[in-house]
Chain A
Amino acid sequence: MPNLDAAFSALSDPTRRAILARLALGETTVMELAEPFEMSQPAVSRHLKVLENAGLIVRRVEGAKHPCRLAKAGVEAIDEWLAMLREALARNYDRLDQILADMKPENGKV
C-alpha cells in the first residue's frame, strides 16, 4: 500500500518529478538517468531511494545494474486520491451554483 504522504512529499521535488516523467517512457537504469539530468549517479540514487520508499517506483537487480520503473499501484493511488479531492471541490462549487440560483430573487428586490 503506497504511503500518500510520502508520495506527495517525494513529488514536491522538481528533479524527482522529471525522473518520474522519464520513467513513464519505460524502464531505465541509474546510469541512463544520470546523463540527461547532469547529476552524479549517487545523487540520482538518492532521489530514486526517496521515490522507492514512497512506493512510486520499483527497482530490480540485474547483475550490477538496477533498472527502475514506475510502480503502477503508487501512481494509481495518487491518481485516485486527486480524483477524490477534485470531486470534493467540484461538489462545493455545484452547491454554490444552487445558492447563487436561490439568491437571484433576492437580488431582484435590491
Chain B
Amino acid sequence: MTLNTEGDTHVVVTRRFAAPPEAVYRAHTEPHLIQKWLLGPDGWIMPVCISEARPNGKIRYEWTNGKGGGFYLTGEYLELEPYSRIVHVERMHLPNPTPDNHVETRFDQDGGGTLMTLRMTLPDAETRARMLATGMEHGMEASYVRLESTMLG
C-alpha cells in the first residue's frame, strides 16, 4: 500500500489485490461486501450501508463502536464504469458535514490481480489538513509522508 499527498489538495492511495478488477469493484460498491471490510480500527462495525451504484445514486455509511461512539458519511456516485472506475463525492458528519471530498477510484488489471488507485481531491489545503487531523473518513486518512520524511529524515 502507498499513501501520498499530491500538491496541496490531493491524497493518493494505491494498493494491489490478488483478485480481478471485477471482484474488487464489487467489493467497493455492493453493500453486503462493503460492510465486511470498510470499518477502520478494530471494534467498529457498519450497521447501515446504503450504496446505490448508479450516477446520482446515494451513499450512506454509518459506523459505531458499540460503546456509544459513532459517525456517518454521506455521498453521491457521479460516474461508474464497471469494473474499472468509480467517481463519487463524500463528506463526513461529525456531526457537522465536512467539505466534499471528491474521490476517483481506478481498478486496473495487474497480472492476475488488480492495482487500485484512489485519488481524493479536497477543496483546499486547509480542508485536507483538517481531514487528516480529524482522523476519520473510513480510515482513509492518508499522510504527510513526504513531509514526514523531510522532517524526520
Contact = CB atoms under 8 A, between A and B. Distances in A.
Nearest to A110: B22
Interface in B34-75: 36-42
Interface stretch (A32-40, A61-69, A100-108): A100-108
Interface residues of A, number: 38
B128 interface: yes
Question: Dominant SS at the A interface?
Answer: helix
Give the interface size class of chain B.
35 or more
B135 A14 contact: no
A45 B19 CA distance: 53
23 contacts: A5-B133, A5-B134, A9-B133, A11-B147, A12-B129, A17-B150, A20-B147, A21-B150, A75-B151, A75-B152, A78-B144, A79-B148, A81-B135, A82-B148, A85-B142, A90-B1, A92-B138, A97-B17, A99-B36, A100-B19, A101-B18, A104-B19, A107-B22
